[in-house]
Structure 1
């Protein structure tokens, strides 16, 4: 039987400090339990000791990109959590329709499925031609996947079911072309999107947005970092802009809650006051 390798929290703290000193990338305010699981996964995949991992950090200049890819969680799908999209159609789209230009930001965009979901939703709602979509992530590898917009046909069949559950007209197939076992998002849907690296931990406001959707990201941060990132997201909104966090997130800080009006308490949709 293979004995799985485990880290102590003291060893984890040492590794976090080494990464910070070597690559100036700060994992110190990520959830320790989640981070510990991800680093242990690397040790067991590579069959490394803690010493081997530290050696890679010290001696391998490109190792930070591998760490980011393995440590950051990239779970996404198109029209994930259909009740959220129904809420956006009902509570957000009518208000956004009054804007001449709409800028949408998806921090933690991963491989792009959520951004393209919103692009399709805006297309179906008649807002696409006056909108622009920004997708950011710390992980360059998933951003490259997002730019390509190539997903397996098996996944697209599942995404199609989500699409129709949101009660959109479709057909969903008009938003992609088929090549062998893959579906490629149409150029029409890509032309109003931009994917780039942005680190929520260390980077600041870079534009003013009418809508920011940041789902399933904050849950991997400690409270202090959650609050810092939430303030960054709110600062990135125009007056009366919308912040979407999704049902799995929550705002604990009363000071941060005071900056927002609740639009949908179940799906954690807010409007900047």
Structure 2
């Protein structure tokens, strides 16, 4: 009965050949796997950025949102297909990530190059400012019976712990004998009182207007976290706990979480 059946015409040039469902190697399969790999790589980059605290993570999020919303012409013209969208998405993400990595590398290089053998620099690290700051209220000098004798100031300096190069000193070191009373510079609430690998025994106090003071390398602590204290209250005694080469008080001044040079404020208090 099949002898008289018409032969199947050969496919015309340029015509698409339908493959049976479930056949391997279709464009859709390849695009799907490409998208899966692209998403896994993006997730890996984002997780690594969060783990390493890279500053360009917010920018990467914005970039990903933009490339996932392509021009409408990709889907409204005869050239529309998933492969084109996937290819353009991968190229856009790769280009932006590369640019952000180069920028991050250049920033780190610039900060490193700013250090000199004399402890000076043209730039300051994140979370600090090079200028001085005076709170809107008077301060009590933090060492009982002492004048403002500074042994190490705010800013770049040669690493006192014997490391190579320089480091940025975030406060002022004030000379005092071990056991000298350390006083609160103003009324406030103790945000933290405890131990730190670098600060040793230290106290951080929150004052009015978002101002804070920090007292480090103490021998003993006489206050606790959450305690309300008055200016001149004894926080503890001078020591050399943490990374310290001898007894002294390390004093920091912060405004809204940013560290400033406390020299002028200490001179005024003294």
User: Shorter-chain TM-score: what band?
Assistant: under 0.3
More helix by share: 1
TM-score relative to the length of structure 2: 0.27
TM norm structure 1: 0.27
- In our comparison, the structure showing a higher alpha carbon Rg is 2
More strand by share: 2
